[in-house]
A = this chain, B = another copy of it.
Amino acid sequence: MGPIIGEIENKDLDATGFSSSNPQLEKLPSVYKVGFPPRKNLGREFVDTLRETFFSDDPLRHYKDQSSSRRLLLGLQSVFPIFKWGRSYNLTKFKGDLIAGITIASLCIPQDIGYSKLANLDPQYGLYSSFVPPLIYAFMGSSRDIAIGPVAVVSLLLGSLLQDEVDPSKKEEYLRLAFTATFFAGITQAALGFFRLGFLVDFLSHASIVGFMGGTAITIALQQLKGFFGIEKFTKKSDLVSVMKSVFDSAFHGWNWQTTLIGSFFLAFLLLAKHIGNKKKSLFWVPAIAPLISVVLSTLLVYVTHADKHGVKIVKNLKKGLNPISFGKIYFTGANSATGFKIGAVAGVIALVEAAAIGRTFAAMKDYQLDGNREMVALGTMNVIGSMSSCYIATGSFSRSAVNYMSGCHTPVSNLVMSAVVFLTLLLITPLFKYTPNAILSSIIISAVVGLIDYKAAYLIWKVDKLDFIACMGAFFGVVFVSVEIGLLIAVSLSFAKILLQVTRPRTAILGNIPGTTVYRNIEQYPEATRVPGALIVRVDSAIYFSNSNYVRERILRLLTDEEERLQAKDLPKIEFLIVEMSPVTDIDTSGIHALQDLYKGLQKRDVQLALANPGTIVMDKFYSSKFTEMIGNNKIFLTVGEAVMTCTPKSKEDA
């Protein structure tokens, strides 16, 4: 390659360095013509855009050139990935999955009982939701590491949305609405995936998710103070101020010291276990089984000491037996159905956001591809079926998925194992949890949600992008000081505001020549870059659309005015050429072309010539269709800024 590059370099000199030996630039023979792609036909362009939007991953590529029986198999595999990975399943993999499954089951059982309280539901519904959904997911899901079940954030969100509609003390009605919401959450998830709208999940920015999750974690932890201190009278609100008021109002006369003692002891134990797990990765199982150990020990303690007679609140009611059918409880029509849909859609999307984040993280760590849309169909189906078997919304859990990964899971079989363990628990040992003190559940939840407060990510966001940090903090404070719903609303609004900002105010830069090269770069980034006398080179850093076309035109004119004032003040020659570097302008619409036409007319009045450098495929195509190329002249469009400068700068005058 070496010599070839050398040759190219020499040719380059011939083409663009020609000027040094021949000052008559207008006769320059070989200014490279800006490329013109073969024009697409009318429908083609439209189909291409649609395909790139909805089928960017080209999901049908494997079906090409296959026999019909093979296509059937591929289709089956795509809906039920178990038929794909199942064919190469073996004992070694099962050993890994078995250990991982048992580990996450031991973690999920106490968590489930606690999380169902966040959703204002009886404890068994948490366990139900760790039985059926993981079972379905194992057949339809394609993530190898995700652990399915109820999660803290979605439980709290569902609970607070539901209690705005129905008083949780009206048990039957509340439950019906919960199942309806779960049903529609599943429908929403499956529909988003089926119609390949999974990308909509990306409209919630990373920063606002970090803030929302952190705020929700703190809210959840605050809610646990009730169980932790054994407070009887506790606010229904979730904001920091109301909760702290409840806690301090009941201090000394409302706290139960036995409860607080048990809670504090086991919270310390759980946090220590967490610390050990973080310190030494090989001891990851310590925090994973610590909750179950806490439950067993504290339950025994209460049973032996009869602490429940001394005001230590216990779980008490935990129904034995498998999930009852709940199909008949779902509202399919009427006002309740609409309410359920509204709640389900919101909670379902948040559940998707969490599952998508987990799925992607682990897929990147093990380097396998995950089809986001197919995952959504799997999660949706699992929730639809769940809603008919007394489950509430389940999704991928951060903490359990991490344990699953570290325990060495290979396939979704670990979810099957977990599901089986929960099945046995429901059938056989649920009555044993009767004496489990609520304080332990609170401690388990607190120690679980602490991990959701990602202060490192928040610090990184602060360092990298101040606007993102505002979005993060907005969502965080919205959740902590107002409510989960308001926090979510802030997160969504700020995410959209950022998108709109991006398309309304594209950046522009003045370019200068980097000494010793033909390269032109932003003079702010490269202070050594020199301006070209008599020409202003401006780069527009975005596609020019209706949302920014006026801004772009006005910005360029203002840059020109500023530059002219600067030159005038220094008594330097005035600007005769405006060169617009179009490389980053990836697309343009009719408004954008109008703006450029207006710019051209404005420049003509000022006696400044317009030249364009390196417009892309699509932009050239549209310039041509709209006859803008004719307007400014084809010879005013160049391959590079360098060529434009050579042809445009008024050097011949200086030479003369």
Q: Is A498 part of the contact surface with B, judged by Cβ < 8 Å? A: yes
Measured CA separation A546–B200 after assembly (Å): 11
Of B42, B56, B205, which is within 8 A of A555 by CB? B56
A9 contacts B2, CB within 8 Å? no
Q: Is A337 part of the contact surface with B, judged by Cβ < 8 Å? A: no
B591 contacts A205, CB within 8 Å? yes
Q: Is A167 part of the contact surface with B, judged by Cβ < 8 Å? A: no
Q: How many copies does the complex hold?
A: 2
B5 contacts A9, CB within 8 Å? no
A466 contacts B499, CB within 8 Å? no
Given A56-B555, A558-B58, are A620 and B525 neighbors across the interface (CB < 8 Å)? Answer: yes
Given A558-B58, A586-B507, are A639 and B519 neighbors across the interface (CB < 8 Å)? Answer: yes
Given A517-B12, A554-B57, are A5 and B32 neighbors across the interface (CB < 8 Å)? Answer: no
Collect the chain B residues with CB atoms within 8 Å of residue A46's CB: 466-467, 470
Q: Is A504 part of the contact surface with B, judged by Cβ < 8 Å? A: yes
Given A205-B589, A542-B543, are A53 and B465 neighbors across the interface (CB < 8 Å)? Answer: no
B505 contacts A503, CB within 8 Å? no
Collect the chain B residues with CB atoms within 8 Å of residue A202's CB: 504, 546-551
Against B, the Cβ 8 Å flags (1 = close, 0 = not) of A577-590 are 00000011011011
Q: Report the count of interface residues on A (CB-CB < 8 A).
A: 126
Collect the chain B residues with CB atoms within 8 Å of residue A468's CB: 589-590
Q: Is A646 part of the contact surface with B, judged by Cβ < 8 Å? A: yes
Q: How far is the CB of A507 from chain B (nearest CB, A)?
A: 5
- Interface-facing stretch out of A15-23, A122-130, A133-141, A425-433: A15-23
Q: Is A165 part of the contact surface with B, judged by Cβ < 8 Å? A: no
Q: Is A148 part of the contact surface with B, judged by Cβ < 8 Å? A: no
Collect the chain B residues with CB atoms within 8 Å of residue A1's CB: 533, 649-651, 654-655
Given A516-B8, A555-B56, A590-B457, are A499 and B507 neighbors across the interface (CB < 8 Å)? Answer: no
Q: Does more than half of chain A's interface fall in helix, strand or loop, or is it mixed?
A: helix
Q: How far is the CB of A58 from chain B (nearest CB, A)?
A: 7
Measured CA separation A9–B643 after assembly (Å): 12
Q: Is A605 part of the contact surface with B, judged by Cβ < 8 Å? A: yes
Q: Is A545 part of the contact surface with B, judged by Cβ < 8 Å? A: yes
Please give the residue numbers on chain A whose beta carbons come within 8 Å of chain B beta carbons, in ascending order: 1-3, 5-17, 19-21, 23, 25, 32, 35-37, 42, 45-46, 49, 52-53, 56-58, 199, 202-207, 360, 364-365, 367, 372, 457, 460-461, 463-468, 470, 495, 498-507, 509, 513-519, 521-522, 524-527, 533, 541-543, 545-551, 554-555, 558, 583-584, 586-587, 589-591, 593-594, 598, 601-602, 605, 614, 616-618, 620, 622, 625-626, 639-640, 645-646, 649-652, 654-655
